[in-house]
Structure 1
Amino acid sequence: MNARALHLADLYADRLGINSPDAVQSELAARFEHLSSFVLLGGMPRAGEAGVMSAEGAAAYGELWVLDAFLTDVRAALTEGVRR
């Protein structure tokens, strides 16, 4: 593993509130699994439907935000590596 990958793992271990950078991959996978099952099983309100978001919906939104930020950071790291 290169230094950039270790840096991302350390960063996300801290952001996710987990003790070990080695657990980042499994934590992100668990969050993605929860998010995808929540969305695919109809937990999110349909477009145009008003309503109060449930606690689980709010958690899923937070997971989406974390995953989006992670993918953005990875894309930036990979793009920087390609430019060199």
Structure 2
Amino acid sequence: MSRRTVSLPEVWAERLGIDATDDVAQELAARFEHLTQFVLSGGIPRMGKAGAVSAEAATAHGDLWVLAGFLADARTAMTQEVNR
């Protein structure tokens, strides 16, 4: 049984649920833009302010999680290439 090497864009296209690997960069950029706009518009409650988390805040948290995961995978891929 042979194993096929899977590229970073292929992995992330599957994780993001998009068909084309060419769309991965656009999807990640859109998530980063949403997260940035949420943070810059003051959407994050001040420390000590307990309350219900909005749907937009939950989406921003998900965007942050996705971007952090992608960056970790990209770092691993780059490290592996350097060490070859």
TM-score, shorter chain, exceeding 0.5: yes
Q: Cα RMSD (Å) of the superposition?
A: 1.3
**1:31-73 deviation line (CA, Å, top 9, x unaligned):** 0000000011101112222111100100000000000000000
> In the aligned structure 2, how far is the partner of 1:60 from the partner of 1:51?
16
Q: Give the residue type in structure 1 aligned to 2:56.
A: E
Is 1:18–2:18 an aligned residue pair? yes
**How far apart, in 2, do the equivalents of 1:10 and 1:48 lie?**
41
Classify the secondary structure of the residue corresponding to 1:43: coil
TM-score, structure 1 normalization: 0.89
In the alignment, what sits opposite 2:7? 7
Between the two proteins, what is the percent identity of the paired residues?
56
The equivalent residue for 2:37 is 37
Task: Please list the CA deviations of residues 10-49 of structure 1 after superposition, one character each: whole Å capped at 9, or x if unmatched.
Answer: 1111111111110000000000000000011101112222
Q: Match for 2:29: what amino acid?
A: A
Q: In the aligned structure 2, how far is the partner of 1:41 from the partner of 1:20?
A: 32
Q: In structure 2, the residue corresponding to 1:53 is in which secondary structure?
A: coil
TM superposition shift of 1:80: 1.1
Give 2:24's aligned amino acid.
V
Amino acid at match of 2:55: A
- Number of aligned residues: 80
Of the two, which has the highest radius of gyration? 2
SS at match of 2:68: helix
